[in-house]
Amino acid sequence: MANTILEARQLTKSYAIGERQVCILNAVSLTIAAGEFIVIAGSSGSGKTTLLSLLSGLDRPTSGQIFMAGQEITNLSEDQLAPMRNQEIGFVFQAFHLVPSLNAMENIMFPAELNRDPQAASMATELLTRTGLWNRRHNLPHQLSGGEKQRVAICRALINRPKIVFADEPTGNLDSENGTAILALLMELHLERETTLVLATHSAAIASQAHRIIHLQDGHLADGPFKGYAA
């Protein structure tokens, strides 16, 4: 795990609200090694989601630099970022973000089909079977439970075998039983595929399973142990 796959240097993100500048992240620097499970921890409003969005190329910093596998991605155009986000990165969101008009299998296949991958159907079949969703493959998102939707989202994130998976509070909309199952699935697939996993959470129980915890407080890297926050 010595090879650095992701590096942030002095990341700052601020927004203008009227005449006032609000700083969401302030000079955050970090490195993540290939194959690590990293938790970005902190209370609501601490900057977790903003940091995840910047590291994954979904948003741009006000200042600072981001390097992925040694390549600076900070100033890449949308046309340059799009194939990287589809092929090198997987996303799992709290709100699932499934395409409502596509069934479970079609949602999972979608990123691979964008790559014109002839193995899209067979890879989706493997993931559906592995995650216990094969019998739900023809169901649309509104016909799935919350736990099933999140499993579909995880399969979709993994179908292109990305180097890094970003997960933003992936158990936040689930009950404790489904949340535990989803976390176990993410961990199992992370270990099996040696994928780097970067997960944002306010949960000390989830954070305790990570290789390292990056603790944010009011947009800064915080000192001291992370004890978790109430949901």
Domains parsed from the chain with CATH numbers: 36-57+77-221 (3.40.50.300)
Does residue 12 surpass a pLDDT of 90? yes
pLDDT at 231: 47
Q: What is the pLDDT of residue 1?
A: 44
Backbone angles phi, psi at 165, to 5 degrees: -115, 125
What confidence tens digit (pLDDT) does each residue in 81-119 have? 988 888 889 999 888 899 999 999 999 999 999 889 999
- The pLDDT of residue 99: 96
Helix (H, G, I), strand (E, B) or coil at 131: coil
> What does the pLDDT average to over 197-210?
87
pLDDT band at 175 (very low <50, low <70, confident <90, very high): confident
Report d(CA 214, CA 9) in Å as an integer: 14
What is the pLDDT, as a whole number, of residue 208? 87
Contact 12, 63 (CB under 8 A): yes
Residue 200, Cβ density class (10 Å: 0-12 exposed, 13-18 middle, ≥19 buried): buried
Tell me the C-alpha distance between 207 and 227, whole Å: 9
Residue 143 φ/ψ region, left for φ over 0, alpha for ψ in the -120 to 50 degree band, beta for the rest: alpha
Give residue 117's identity as a one-letter amino acid code: D
Q: What's the pLDDT score for residue 193?
A: 84
Please check the confidence at residue 142 and state whether its pLDDT lies above 90: yes
The three-state secondary structure class of 155 is: helix
Q: What is the reported pLDDT for 50?
A: 93
Position of tokens 């994954």? Answer: 56
Please state, for a pLDDT cut of 90, what percent of the chain lies above it.
Answer: 57
pLDDT of 176 > 90? The answer is: no
CA distance 32 to 23: 24
Q: Which pLDDT score, from 0 to 100, does residue 170 have? A: 87
